[in-house]
């Protein structure tokens, strides 16, 4: 039987070697990225990493110094926002306070070749989509923060954009409401099968929403991948640090056998660890450097991957528990080895040792990630 391979999904958004400079600063340094249609992409990074500038360039609000933006194969680099198949939800929502909810949602439709009845129906459909049918005649000031967020989403989606751009849209919401709106965003994105590009500095938000996480730092892409891969197998030390807590053990590669490394550290050998994927990440060809013998490297271990059971696991040096913090379903433990290596562990409350306890933490070599130092 002949098996026909599934063709790759076509690139919907193509960002090609974008450069943007400001006086005394390179905001974006030859950034390239390809996004499939219907993908939820989260641009993640600290303040000043370039993520908001990149979103602004995709939307046409900022012009790059060089490079190109293509949507559906068309070069839109020189087009103004009004002529691009994109709409933007801003951090402050930018709603019109003197208009009702329905008038806000229908504002962008006035520029479309539609009859008044078609516009009214479209507004009703969008309000139903975001669960605000009963609020259509209310003033914006009378709405809660979560309701205003949904009005902004309905207004942006009403014009049927190919790509929806979201600039830290959940930053003003409290934790419970933020999680509720995250669920609504994912539902809307899947229901409408639209490409979403979402900017945030919150790694938990990124993991909850994204099909594809793009980690940015100093105007460049550090890592690109699914939330699971980027968290569990980070491509760089920066990604490991920014995507959550970890224990980082510096050392030197003393042996390489195929794709298996041995790392010499201040307190002994870490053996049998898988070498990092040599493929380039995003626009960072330096990530293709293969770790070899005598290279400086860092072993990354996530807090939840520590146990006290040595069965088939790598034992680390004895450490003293310095601090414990109860955080509900787990206890965060800070421990210190005699050699001064800091360890961060997360354990169930019933397994958590007390401050001053001497522990021998263990972890599977499969849960250890080595990245260049």
Q: For residue 239, tell me if it sits in a domain.
A: no
211 and 317 in a single domain? The answer is: no
Q: For residue 5, tell me if it sits in a domain.
A: no
> Tell me: the pLDDT tens digits for 213-224?
999 999 999 999
167 and 91 in a single domain? The answer is: yes
Q: For residue 216, tell me if it sits in a domain.
A: yes
- Quick check: 277 and 289 in contact, CB under 8 A? no
Q: Round the average pLDDT of the chain to a whole number and report it.
A: 87
End-of-domain residue from the set 174, 197, 232: 232
Determine the pLDDT at residue 312: 65
Determine the pLDDT at residue 373: 82
75 and 131 in a single domain? The answer is: yes
279 and 324 in a single domain? The answer is: yes
> Tell me: the pLDDT tens digits for 132-174?
888 888 888 888 888 888 888 888 888 889 999 999 887 767 7
| Other C-beta atoms lying within 10 Å of the C-beta of residue 128 | 12
Cα separation, 147 vs 95, in Å, equals: 12
* Cα angle: 233, vertex 236, 237; to 5 degrees: 105
174 and 308 in a single domain? The answer is: no
Global pTM?
A: 0.86
Determine the pLDDT at residue 8: 53
Cα separation, 330 vs 136, in Å, equals: 43
* CATH number of the domain bearing residue 191: 3.40.50.300
Q: For residue 46, tell me if it sits in a domain.
A: yes
pLDDT value at 287 more than 50:
no
193 and 100 in a single domain? The answer is: yes
Q: What is the DSSP letter of 77?
A: T
pLDDT value at 283 more than 50:
no
Backbone angles phi and psi of 348, in degrees to 5: -60, 150
HSE toward the beta carbon, residue 31, CA cutoff 13 A: 32
More confident residue, 70 or 244: 70
Cα separation, 330 vs 321, in Å, equals: 16
Cα separation, 215 vs 224, in Å, equals: 6
269 and 315 in a single domain? The answer is: yes
Determine the pLDDT at residue 285: 38
Q: For residue 237, tell me if it sits in a domain.
A: no
End-of-domain residue from the set 208, 232, 256: 232
Backbone angles phi and psi of 86, in degrees to 5: -135, 155
227 and 258 in a single domain? The answer is: no
103 and 171 in a single domain? The answer is: yes
144 and 23 in a single domain? The answer is: yes
- Quick check: 310 and 360 in contact, CB under 8 A? yes
Determine the pLDDT at residue 4: 57
255 and 221 in a single domain? The answer is: no
Q: For residue 2, tell me if it sits in a domain.
A: no
Q: CA 319 → CA 250, 312, 326, distances in Å? A: 17, 20, 20
End-of-domain residue from the set 187, 210, 232: 232
* Total domains, the chain: 2
Determine the pLDDT at residue 3: 52
- H/E/C letters for each residue in 235-260? CCHHHHHHCCCCEEEEEEEEEEECCE
Determine the pLDDT at residue 9: 57
The mean per-residue pLDDT over the stretch 323-329 comes to 93
Q: 24 is in which domain, residue-wise?
A: 11-232
pLDDT value at 6 more than 70:
no
| Other C-beta atoms lying within 10 Å of the C-beta of residue 355 | 12
209 and 252 in a single domain? The answer is: no
- Quick check: 344 and 208 in contact, CB under 8 A? no
Q: For residue 291, tell me if it sits in a domain.
A: yes
Determine the pLDDT at residue 288: 42
Backbone angles phi and psi of 221, in degrees to 5: -90, 120
Determine the pLDDT at residue 171: 75
HSE toward the beta carbon, residue 86, CA cutoff 13 A: 30
Q: For residue 361, tell me if it sits in a domain.
A: yes
């Amino acid at each position: 039987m002949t098996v026909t391979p599934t063709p790759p999904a076509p690139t919907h958004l193509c960002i090609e070697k974008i450069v943007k400079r400001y006086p005394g600063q390179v905001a974006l340094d030859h950034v390239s990225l390809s996004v499939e249609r219907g993908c939820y992409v989260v641009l993640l990074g600290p303040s000043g990493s370039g993520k908001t500038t990149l979103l602004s360039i995709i939307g046409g609000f900022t012009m790059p110094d060089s490079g190109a933006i293509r949507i559906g194969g068309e070069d839109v680099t020189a087009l103004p926002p009004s002529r691009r198949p994109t709409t933007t939800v801003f951090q402050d929502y930018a709603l019109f306070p003197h208009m009702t909810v329905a008038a806000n949602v229908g504002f962008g439709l006035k520029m479309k070749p539609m009859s008044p009845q078609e516009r009214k129906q479209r507004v009703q459909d969008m309000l139903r989509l975001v669960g605000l049918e009963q609020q259509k005649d209310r003033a914006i000031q009378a709405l809660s923060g979560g309701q205003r967020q949904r009005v902004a989403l309905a207004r942006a989606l009403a014009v049927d954009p190919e790509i929806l751009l979201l600039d830290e849209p959940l930053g003003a919401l409290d934790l419970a409401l933020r999680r509720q709106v995250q669920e609504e965003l994912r539902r809307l994105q899947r229901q409408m099968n639209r490409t979403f590009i979402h900017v945030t500095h919150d790694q938990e938000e990124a993991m909850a929403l994204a099909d594809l996480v793009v980690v940015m730092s100093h105007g460049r892409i550090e890592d690109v991948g699914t939330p699971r891969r980027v968290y569990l197998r980070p491509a760089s030390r920066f990604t490991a640090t920014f995507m959550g807590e970890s224990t980082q053990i510096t050392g030197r590669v003393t042996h390489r056998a195929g794709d298996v490394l041995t790392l010499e550290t201040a307190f002994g050998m870490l053996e049998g660890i898988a070498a990092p994927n040599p493929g380039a990440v995003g626009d960072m060809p330096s990530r293709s450097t293969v770790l070899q013998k005598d290279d400086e490297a860092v072993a990354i271990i996530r807090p939840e991957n520590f146990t006290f059971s040595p069965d088939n696991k790598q034992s680390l040096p004895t450490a003293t528990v310095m601090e414990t913090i109860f955080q509900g379903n787990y206890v965060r433990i800070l421990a210190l080895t005699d050699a001064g290596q800091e360890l961060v562990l997360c354990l169930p409350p019933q397994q958590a040792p007390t401050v001053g306890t001497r522990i021998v933490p263990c972890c599977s070599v499969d849960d250890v990630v080595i990245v260049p130092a």
